[in-house]
């Protein structure tokens, strides 16, 4: 996969923490994001992901919704957003739960997203172009919020 034209990274590569108990999705995130200049850190559960976040703060998080329990992703996102160190780290929730279990967690409004402690929400399989576009948009917004 070729790098996207016009992507400008800071001197330091932005790191993206991807959390999913399915190694195929972790591999897909790596194959989609690394060629675009991102450093991808993969974890298979939210406990490892929280530990990794304390070791090195990622610029953005992509997390599955259903891992060890039905709402693992929601709990993880809430923990991230409630921690003062990570409050400005964008969180993308990606899930296959709708197709697998028939549940519909799709946010209908910005308020729904905020209640989920997420900045974006996608059903699996997520289109790589849509994922990359959202990652870039959220990182750009996050950098603007962090600027004085």
What is the DSSP code string of 70-115? TTHHHHHHHHHHHSTTTTTS-EEEEE-HHHHH-------SHHHHHH
Query: Which domains occur in the chain, in start order?
Result: 15-146 (3.40.50.2300)
Evaluate if pTM is beyond 0.85.
no
pLDDT digits (tens, 9 = 90+) for 88-113: 999 999 987 654 445 555 656 677 66
Tell me the per-residue pLDDT of 44-79, one tens digit each, with 9 for 90 and over.
Answer: 999 999 999 999 999 999 999 888 766 678 899 999
What does the alpha-carbon distance between residue 62 and residue 118 come to, in Å, rounded to a whole number?
10
């Amino acid at each position: 996969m070729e790098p996207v034209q016009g992507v400008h990274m800071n001197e330091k590569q932005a790191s993206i923490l991807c959390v999913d108990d399915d190694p195929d999705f972790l591999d897909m995130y790596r194959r989609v994001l690394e060629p675009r200049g991102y450093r991808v850190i993969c974890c298979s559960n939210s406990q490892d992901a929280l530990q990794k976040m304390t070791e090195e703060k990622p610029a953005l998080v992509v997390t599955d919704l259903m891992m060890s329990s039905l709402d693992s992703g929601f709990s993880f996102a809430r923990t991230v957003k409630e921690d003062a160190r990570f409050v400005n780290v964008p969180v993308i929730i990606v899930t296959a739960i709708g197709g697998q279990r028939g549940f519909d967690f799709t946010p209908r409004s910005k308020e729904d997203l905020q209640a989920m402690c997420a900045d974006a929400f996608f059903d699996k399989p997520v289109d790589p172009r849509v994922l990359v576009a959202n990652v870039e948009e959220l990182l750009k917004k996050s950098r603007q919020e962090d600027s004085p």
